[in-house]
Amino acid sequence: MTTMRPKGNIQDKLVNKAVRNIRKGGNQEDPGKSMYQPGVKLDLQRSVLLTQAYRETEGQPMVLRRAKALDKILSSMDLYIQDHERIVGNNVSTPSGLYFGIDMAWRSVRRVVDQEEGKSLLDDAGRKTLDELIAYWDGKAMSDIQQKTFTGEILESWKFENSGAMSWSHWSELGIPDYEKVFKVGVKGLMDQARARLDEIDRTVPPDYVDQKEFLQAVLISMEATLKYAKRYGALALEKAAAATDPEDKARLESIARTCSRVPEHPPQTLQEALQSFFFLHVIRYIEYSTLGIGVRFDKVFGPYLEKDLKNGVLTRDQALELLQLLWVKFHELGLIYSPSLSAIYGGVASLQAITLGGVDENGEDVTNDMTYLVLECAETMRTPEPTIALRYHDGTPRELLSRATDVIKTGIGYPSFFNDKAILPLLKKWDAPLKDSRDYAISGCVYLEIPGKNIARRAYGGIVLPAALYYALNQGKSQFTGKIVGAKTPDPRTFQSADDLMDAYSAQVEFFAKRLCTLENTSQTLYEKYLPRPFYSALLEGCIEQGKESKKFTYPSAVVNLCIMIGPTNVGDSITAVKKVVFDDKKVSMDALLKAMDANWKGYEDIRQLMVNAPKYGNDDDYADAISAQVQTRTAQAMAKAKTRFGLPCRGDGSGLSATYAAGSIIPATPEGRYSGEPFADATLSPVFGMDQNGPTAVLKSASKTSTVDSYNHLMNQKFLPQALEGNMKEVFVDYIRSWGDLGISQIQFNVVDKQTLLAAQEKPEDYPDLLVRVAGYSAYFVDLSKGLQDSIIARTDQSF
């Protein structure tokens, strides 16, 4: 390898493709702000090639059509190698392009490119091409098919505005391929396995012979296409090398060519080969199907290659760091187009990519190695919103690693976030995952738990707005907008004898909406299976080639496959606590008076609101409030579990609220904890309601520890610290704080380390703070890309100062 480039140079290569959030619920916010940075374009090549392939394969089995379409794209899409690159590939044809899944949904994109907020994404010729493509896809894209399939009540409940209690969306999947297997046998090995299975079914002729045969043939086509794509890159690198005059440049390009000639076909021998092999598979997965996240356990998977290269003198540590930094630039080139309404949920997101560090191996031993520290150094120098880093914590996590992680957190980029093996391994056990599998869990994006290589492919298919369920529990299921019954018909709250009655009504509402949501999702999963099979991705998962089955035809046998975003459980906890205290225990206000006060959005009822606000609150280590909050979490999980997937697994929640906690609040009326109509909800499933935690950061953790992860779901918890809390002597205290969090068995924690003044200044003069990163939910984003309201809600999180 050649000498190291200055780090500043690499950072300059970053492209910001994160979507700016311009919607709050259904309403426009910050008019005039465009959805993407100038220069970012909608890339139509995939759509054009996909359409061609679809036209050529009409009438053929869908799984083969999808494989042939992938082949068409990988064989013909324009390739590029930039002057700084060592790792190559992208899901689009230029560094500034946005991925567009026209086969998934096109209507909102069509609208966006005509509006002010998205006009710059296409030129007029592009708009014309788009119209031609749409002429083909109209009626064939997944969202069109879904609209035709959903009818009656199901269609009604699809529309978020009808209840405000649940939202379902047809968006991307995550999932973690079995990179370790591919590194062991190469794509070549996967193809051998597929051929062997074909031979086998020729002998045994099982009842689903035809399905299996078509699938396995599709796997082979997809894998051939993958090899073709890599070889095309190799050829391009050679061509550029021949033209290069600078010897260093020539060497760089030749090394790319060498790498692409070997991987992903063969097992990688060096770190560069391993990273390139991984990245090819990563982008092809994105090309095949609308995809988010990464999830690879980076140190566990790549650490051995680093160690070998360092030992053999193939690389210096600085050169390895540079390779990582260049890979980080590539991660940033993976952007996708969002609809304006999705921007409200995914404010500031590009591809929600997260990687995992630390944790244990299948024998329970700590996996920390040189790569763990090198990744942290890369993160510290690059300061990119993606990939975020999930650091798995267990008793054997070295203190030195926590100390290094604290250095990175101190920069304010919002990661690494910590995931507690002590809470998550028991949760996965409860969800029936074998210990060997659960020890390998990783975070693919946000806080999504997955197990690498297993047929899980989680999808944030929707969310339940829990305070809306509470609203319906207090209003007998009646809509605030139409007066129609849109929830469960629960009893008149004026007849409630205790807070338990309210809890029961709330549970009934959660169950009602969870079942609605699962009906939508289960129907939709059937449509995905039928119309969007994924032969390429299936080949990278355990069980697909072995059984000759595409990934949608069976499931990993654990509830970990499901993912429903939970919004506002601590608001519900504080609400029921306040009702118990004020209405039932102290009898200071009648239920009727409380309902009237909330109907009036507290106007003219400030005395009642103060009584509700002054009731005990979650986040203060107050057992009265914490017990009810914990009960809300477990009752919510129990209610949701009554809804089932199409494979009969219980529906499970997930702590990733994304920026939806902010958006969802906008149409929900006043709630009993004293919240006004339209105000945002607490920013994460274990976070106290803004400003309600008054006893400091130890009390917050104690409150959170009273919620059982095992009896609920995996959570997310934000803590905001001032920068001085991590400086000097305080750094050790911070590490001790994290270790105490670990001992308390709380499943997750993440930190925003930035002072209020800086945030206010950035709001005032965004042009001076283009690179200021903040933690939004399970991801980080550029602060200035967020809407004013979302910025305000981040500023409102309580500071924990030392």
Which residues would be at the binding site for another protein (CB under 8 A)? 607, 610-611, 614, 621, 695-699, 702, 729-730, 732-733, 736-737, 739-740, 743-744, 800, 802
- Least distance in angstroms from the C-beta of 570 to another protein: 19
Angle between helix 124-137 and 107-114 (nearest 10): 160
658: left (phi over 0), alpha (psi -120 to 50) or beta: left
Task: Report which of 716, 801, 793 is spatially closest to residue 759, judged by C-alpha positions.
Answer: 793
Q: What are 766-775's contacts with CB under 8 Å, separation 24+?
A: 771/383, 772/412, 773/383, 773/385, 773/412, 773/413, 773/414, 774/412, 774/414, 775/414, 775/415, 775/417, 775/718, 775/750, 775/751
Q: Which one, 449 or 746, has the nearer CB to another protein?
A: 746
- Least distance in angstroms from the C-beta of 431 to another protein: 27
- Least distance in angstroms from the C-beta of 473 to another protein: 26
Q: Which one, 476 or 740, has the nearer CB to another protein?
A: 740
Three-state secondary structure of 239-279: HHHHHCCCHHHHHHHHHHHHHHHHCCCCCCCCHHHHHHHHH
Q: Which one, 730 or 761, has the nearer CB to another protein?
A: 730
Is the sign of the CA dihedral 664, 669, 675, 676 positive or negative? positive
Q: Which one, 601 or 698, has the nearer CB to another protein?
A: 698
**CA atoms of 322 and 488, how far apart (whole Å):** 57
- Least distance in angstroms from the C-beta of 732 to another protein: 8
Task: Report which of 30, 45, 27 is spatially closest to residue 122, judged by C-alpha positions.
Answer: 45
- Least distance in angstroms from the C-beta of 425 to another protein: 20
Q: Which one, 485 or 593, has the nearer CB to another protein?
A: 593
Q: Which one, 86 or 702, has the nearer CB to another protein?
A: 702
- Least distance in angstroms from the C-beta of 802 to another protein: 5
- Contact between 196 and 51 (Cβ < 8 Å): no
Q: How far is CA 433 from CA 429, 556, 559, in A?
A: 5, 9, 8
- Least distance in angstroms from the C-beta of 730 to another protein: 7
Q: Which one, 374 or 746, has the nearer CB to another protein?
A: 746
Beta bridge partners of 24: 27
Q: Which one, 20 or 410, has the nearer CB to another protein?
A: 410
Sequence-distant (≥ 6) Cβ neighbours of residue 442 within 8 angstroms = 176, 295, 296, 297, 356, 390, 449, 450, 451, 452
Is the sign of the CA dihedral 449, 455, 459, 464 positive or negative? negative
DSSP element (H, E) containing 638 = helix 623-641
Q: Which one, 34 or 698, has the nearer CB to another protein?
A: 698
- Least distance in angstroms from the C-beta of 609 to another protein: 9
Q: What are the backbone angles phi and psi of residue 600, rounded to the nearest 5°?
A: -90, 10
Q: Which one, 78 or 395, has the nearer CB to another protein?
A: 395
Rounded to 10 degrees, the C-alpha dihedral 763/765/768/770 comes to: 40
Q: Which one, 362 or 607, has the nearer CB to another protein?
A: 607
- Least distance in angstroms from the C-beta of 598 to another protein: 17
**CA atoms of 791 and 140, how far apart (whole Å):** 39
- Least distance in angstroms from the C-beta of 713 to another protein: 24
- Least distance in angstroms from the C-beta of 685 to another protein: 22
- Least distance in angstroms from the C-beta of 610 to another protein: 4
Do you find a cis peptide bond into 264, omega within 30 degrees of 0? Answer: yes
Length in residues, the chain: 802
DSSP 724: G
Cβ burial, residue 705 (10 Å; 0-12/13-18/19+): buried
Q: What are the backbone angles phi and psi of residue 668, rounded to the nearest 5°?
A: -95, 130
Q: Which one, 46 or 702, has the nearer CB to another protein?
A: 702
- Least distance in angstroms from the C-beta of 733 to another protein: 5
Q: Which one, 769 or 802, has the nearer CB to another protein?
A: 802
Q: Which one, 289 or 605, has the nearer CB to another protein?
A: 605
Q: Which amino acid is at 111?
A: R
- Contact between 752 and 775 (Cβ < 8 Å): yes
Task: Report which of 420, 418, 359 is spatially closest to residue 747, judged by C-alpha positions.
Answer: 420
Please report how many Cα atoms fall inside a 13 Å half-sphere around the Cα of residue 554, on the Cβ side: 16
- Contact between 459 and 171 (Cβ < 8 Å): yes
DSSP element (H, E) containing 799 = strand 799-800
- Least distance in angstroms from the C-beta of 690 to another protein: 17
- Least distance in angstroms from the C-beta of 742 to another protein: 9
- Least distance in angstroms from the C-beta of 715 to another protein: 19
Q: Which one, 194 or 594, has the nearer CB to another protein?
A: 594
Q: Which one, 3 or 729, has the nearer CB to another protein?
A: 729
- Contact between 15 and 332 (Cβ < 8 Å): yes
Classify 60 as helix, strand or coil.
Answer: coil
Task: Report which of 612, 797, 629 is spatially closest to residue 703, judged by C-alpha positions.
Answer: 629
The pair of three-digit structure tokens given for residue 714, joined into one six-digit string: 């995996």
